[in-house]
Amino acid sequence: MASLRTLMLATLLAIAPLSAFVHAAPAVPGLTASQPAEAETPKDVQPSADERAQRFTEQAESAQQRLSELKAELAGASKEIATAQQALSKLKESDTRELAAQLAKLSVPALEQRLAERVEELSTWQTALTAANSMIISAQTRPERAQADISKHQTRIDEINSLLKTGREGGKPLNDERRAMLGAEKTALSAQIELRRSELAGNSQLQDLGVARRDLLAARIARAEQETIALQTAINDKRREESEQTVAEFSMKAEKAGSDKLLPAESAENRRLSGYLLRATERLNDLTQQNLQTRQQLDTLNQADQALEEQIAVLEGSLLLSKVLYQQQQALPQLTLDKNLADEIADIRLYQFELNQRRESSGNAEDYVDQQLANQPPSEVTPELRSALLELVRTRSELLDRLNHELNALLSESITLQLNQRQLQTKAQAMRETLDEQMFWIPSNRPLDLDWFKSVPTLLERQLQAMPWASVFQALGAGLFERPLFFVPLLLVIGLLLWRRNAINAKLDSLSNDIGHFRNDSQLHTPLALLLNLLLALPGALFLALCGYVLQMDGREQNFSLGAAFYQMAQAWLVFYTAYRMLSPNRVAETHFGWFRPQVAFLRSEIRRLGLVVMALVAVVAIAEHQPGSLVDDVIGIVVVLTCYALMSWRLTRLLLKGPSSQNAPPVRRFIGLLFSILPLALIVVVGLGYYYTALKLTGRLIDTLYLMLAWIVIEATLVRGLTVAARRLAYQRALARREAQIDDGTDTSEAAGEPGMDIEQVNQQSLRLTRLAMFGLFFAVLYWVWSDLISVVSYLDNVVLYEFVSGAGDTATSNAITLNNLLGALLIIAITIALARNLPGLLEVLVLSKMRLAQGSAYATTTLLSYALASVGIVSTLSTLGVSWDKLQWLVAALSVGLGFGMQEIFANFISGLIILFERPVRIGDVVTIGNLSGTVSRIRIRATTITDFDRKDIIVPNKTFITGQLINWSLSDTVTRVTIKVGVAYGSDLDLVKKLLYKAAQDNPRVLKDPEPLVLFLTFGESTLDHELRIHVRDLGDRNPATDEINRFIDREFAKAGINIAFRQVDVFLKNFDGRLLQLGAASGTRQADDKPVPPPADSPA
């Protein structure tokens, strides 16, 4: 989790300078809007000088043509503006009240043709309206852009003039082709300068022309939409009238059918089909109306999307663009898709299939009538009955034909509506992602400079005076008094919770007293305590939510945003006040979770202050999300946000770096805490650069992440305590079972089985790991859901190109760009690889390998190889993301392998030896080995070396090559049974049979000595002063060697002494000669027992 926080923090810290970098990134010289052909030329295919001169000539001609069109447009602008104003006035004066009466006189085909014409006109006018809006925006931003282009082009012209004058470029003389190209470029630049100056001169007139066109087109579109709705209504009325007339005719025929038994049944069937025809017509009218609205919305979105791309290209990086984007976001339609449309289409198809079968069965009216009359008594079959029945059948045939036609139209309209709705949903989602992406990466406010801080008091006073405080309180009061049946019960609930606070606190004290007592404690105590703490926090949250609901019911934009702010404050209050109550003395954190009292007291004081800061922040964030267009003038919000960021940085510094548990924290944890403390300061920098909206979006997601982390900590601690209680209860039950068994056996039970102590190690470790694994999976899933709406904005980083490379060769060569998004992706891959390499092998060993019967060391070898595989895949994926493909990397790897193989052959030899050890496994983790004079237990196998822990508990690093090329004794490779040889020397004259018998008895009586292979006693040598015997025994484990030797030696010393057998030793006579020539014999003897009980391998200090 710490690694996740570090990655998230690094990403967020990179956002602040990145946004400024993207904003300040200059355009590539020479690649202006009038030079698309050169911009699309791949870098690996450089055009010749003649080709570039031709392109510059084409650009000059294009600029001249555009200049001519501009002059013509300016010449007729005044007349067109006047004409547009007259047409607009005439359109407003026209009366549309008689339109419905005029349309009622037309037939359905004429109405449908006129509707198609209006729809086509609407599409044309919407395209023209988009062009007019783009023309207005271009005129508004033209002064800055034109001056920048003129300055840039003039600078380039001066450079060209200097080159042509000196006749040299880069120290080389200019050839004719280069001179021609520079001349063509100069001509193109001059033409563009003339065009920009003409646009500047007529900019005001062009803007007035765009406004006139926009107003006229908007009025025409509004009138055309009204007429389209009227036409569709008229068509629907005509269809309904025709269907009702058909139903009436069929009903009259059914009434005239007579009173015969057969005729009423046939007439009822006709009436049922007539009713379905009428319903199908009404449904067709509804779907047609919906389809018309959907097409209009889709056309509007298409035009808005096209206009959005032009506006982004024209207004890139300006504050005007942010306002336009906010307006576009607010104008996105709220889609209400028909979820039952697919089922309805299937039902129509099924009914149409059944209808076709009925049409085929009653296709020949004569035959059908004969079949029906054949089942009637002959006396009742009359010519009148046959005639009436035949008329009903023919009427039904007409009705089926009409119904089939309506169903075909209904099916077609349903499918068209479904496709249009899907397309509309896709387009709206794409536009929403584009808007979110652009709004996130462009500044919403001007940078906060010294002048802004000087004007803060005046701006604050102005904004406070402009806020409708009176209407807010009036809306609150009116909402409470106008809906008493809704609000009074909520107020009663709040009052009840406040009245029962003492009872809730008493219950919490009772639960805390039960913790640790097996007879009273249970797994439900902690969830119940959490629920009670939640009830203590509920009154404040309900009151804030009630205020928010009242304000949102008012419906006005300001009150609606304030209502959303109250909702977010209610949520923050619920989270932090619940945490505050949990951290009270002798409550959940201290009693249930077992947290240290000083740490709990410190957290309680800090969580309260942090909660107040978060409540202020969430209010500003909520208002910003509902009113992004007002952020540019939101001085109160900026002041509150900057203050809260500073306070949050201070509180986080105390919480993460100054707390009781942080004094002895490792450096990595302190570094992560420092990064989190700096994060609010980074957001201050983001706001200072003008990215106020970006900072608020990040703040909202970070606060949601904070909620998630608090919830994760509480849930994880609750689950751990539940497992602990279950383990303790199981241990207690086993203790009771043992005591009952002692009572049943009649043993002494005076010492009652005491309650076992509370030890977390009693918890099933595997269950704990699985629980935490599930918690981590759920945490990351919810974390992704929290940040999912901002993930799409990362695609904007594809616009920041770091470098380009060419892949392929010849005709298949392509130029690929590596962007900042690729770099972040590579860093993410590295982080994921490190996390998986550290955790996945251990998790695999716990969940899978521990349940399999594997040889010693196999699990370690498997997890180690998995770590190497993960690291290899991560390295290859990272390099591939950065554009280093394997076809290029393989030669570099081959060259490095050869070079490093010679220069670092020992390291490579150790690396290969390490892989051989893991695959062949001559040594494994836990094996006792002897290499030369070194003996110990293998504790770790790494890439370069293996760690052996000797019997003095010292770690010895041995290169892997030693295990492969040198001689190695592995005492536990295939079998742990080893032979121990004990040498004993007895004095001459000893009873050899008794010696042999006692040695066998020493081996047979020792439980460490194996019966198979049998012990063996041998008389091997006549020594200088001893009769040398060997006792050869086998022990099962290496740890039994020295204990068995010690026990047998003691047995031999004790039993030989009892039996009178002497263990001989060497005697030495020493003669000393003094200066007088006399000899003196000293009877000093020193001997050592011949029982050399130390085996050669392992040494005598091996583990016993």
**So what's the pLDDT on residue 373?**
67
The residue to which tokens 């049409």 are assigned: 359
Please give the full DSSP string across 422-448, using - where no structure is assigned.
HHHHHHHHHHHHHHHHHHHHS-SS---
Strand partners, 970: 929
Determine contact, residues 277/403, Cβ cutoff 8 Å: yes
Alpha carbon dihedral 1017, 1021, 1024, 1025, in 10-degree steps, equals 20
pLDDT-derived band at 573, boundaries 50, 70, 90: very high
pLDDT-based confidence at residue 253 (cuts at 50, 70, 90): low
Nearest residue to 1024 (alpha-carbon basis) of 1071, 985, 1069, 983 = 985
Are 768 and 762 within 8 A, CB to CB?
A: no
What is the separation, in whole angstroms, between the first and last Cα of the chain?
43
| 460: Cβ contacts below 8 Å, ≥ 6 apart | 635, 636, 639
Confidence of residue 579 (pLDDT cuts 50, 70, 90): very high
| CA-wise closest residue to 440 among 557, 321, 330, 334 | 321
Dihedral angle, C-alpha 192, 195, 201, 202, nearest 10 °: -140
Amino acid at 20: A
Backbone angles phi, psi at 1007, to 5 degrees: -70, -15
Q: What is the mean pLDDT of residues 575-584?
A: 91
- Please give the pLDDT value at position 6: 35
Contact of 936 with 949, CB cutoff 8 Å: yes
Q: Return the top range by mean pLDDT from 115-124, 855-864, 969-978, 1068-1077.
A: 115-124
**Average pLDDT of the residues of the chain:** 76
Alpha-carbon gap, residue 163 to 174, rounded angstroms: 8
What token pair was written down for 574?
A: 């619920």
**Which of 785-789, 798-802, 1065-1069 has the weakest average pLDDT?**
1065-1069
pLDDT at 780: 83
In the predicted model, is pLDDT for residue 561 greater than 90? Answer: no
Residues 6 or more apart whose CB falls under 8 angstroms from that of 248 comprise none
| Residue given tokens 């606070």 in the structure block | 501
> Does 764 score more than 70 pLDDT?
no
Averaged pLDDT, 1083-1098: 42
How far CA 679 is from CA of 11, 576, 674, 691, 783, in Å, comes to 11, 21, 9, 15, 18
Q: Measured between alpha carbons, how far is 907 from 942 in angstroms, rounded to an integer?
A: 12
Q: Read off the pLDDT band of 820 (50, 70, 90).
A: confident
Q: Which one-letter DSSP state was computed for residue 591? A: I
pLDDT digits (tens, 9 = 90+) for 719-759: 888 887 877 777 777 677 777 776 765 554 444 444 444 34
pLDDT at 42: 41
pLDDT-based confidence at residue 199 (cuts at 50, 70, 90): confident
Neighbours of 316 (CB within 10 A): 15
Would you place residue 248 in the very low, low, confident or very high pLDDT band (cuts 50, 70, 90)? low
- By DSSP bridging, strand 978-986 and strand 1027-1035 are antiparallel
Tell me the residue length of the chain.
1104
What are the tens digits of pLDDT across the range 32-68? 333 333 433 444 445 677 788 888 888 889 988 988 8
pLDDT tens figures, 95-114: 666 777 777 777 778 877 88
- The pLDDT assigned to 38 comes to 41
Considering the four listed CATH numbers 2.120.10.30, 3.30.70.100, 2.30.30.60, 1.20.1250.20, the one that applies to the domain covering 923-974 is 2.30.30.60
What pLDDT is attached to residue 29? Answer: 31
- For the residues of 226-289, what is the DSSP string, one character each? HHHHHHHHHHHHHHHHHHHHHHHHHHHHHHTT-S-SHHHHHHHHHHHHHHHHHHHHHHHHHHHH
Confidence tier at 935 by pLDDT (50, 70, 90): confident
Cβ(330)–Cβ(456) under 8 Å?
Answer: no
Domain ranges (residues) in the chain: 48-240, 256-442, 465-737+759-776, 923-974, 978-1082
Record: fold of 978-1082: Alpha-Beta Plaits (3.30.70)
Give the pLDDT score at 809: 58
Collapsing DSSP states into helix, strand and coil, what is residue 69? helix
> What span, in angstroms and rounded, lies between the C-alpha atoms of 535 and 504?
8
840-870 pLDDT, tens digit each: 776 676 666 666 665 555 666 677 777 778 8
The type of residue at 231 is: L
Task: Examine the pLDDT at 128 and tell me if it is beyond 80.
Answer: yes
> pLDDT higher for 783 or 739?
783
Q: Given this model, what pLDDT does residue 572 score?
A: 93
Decide if 311 contacts 137 (C-beta within 8 A): yes
Q: What is the pTM of this model?
A: 0.63
Specify the range with the lowest mean pLDDT, choosing from 3-12, 146-155, 845-854, 1071-1080.
Answer: 3-12
Tell me the per-residue pLDDT of 504-532, one tens digit each, with 9 for 90 and over. Answer: 889 888 888 888 776 777 888 888 989 99
Bridge partners, residue 931, by sequence = 934
Residue 685 is predicted with a pLDDT of: 92
The H-or-E segment that residue 745 falls in is helix 692-745
228-237, 781-790, 845-854, 1019-1028, range with the lowest pLDDT: 845-854
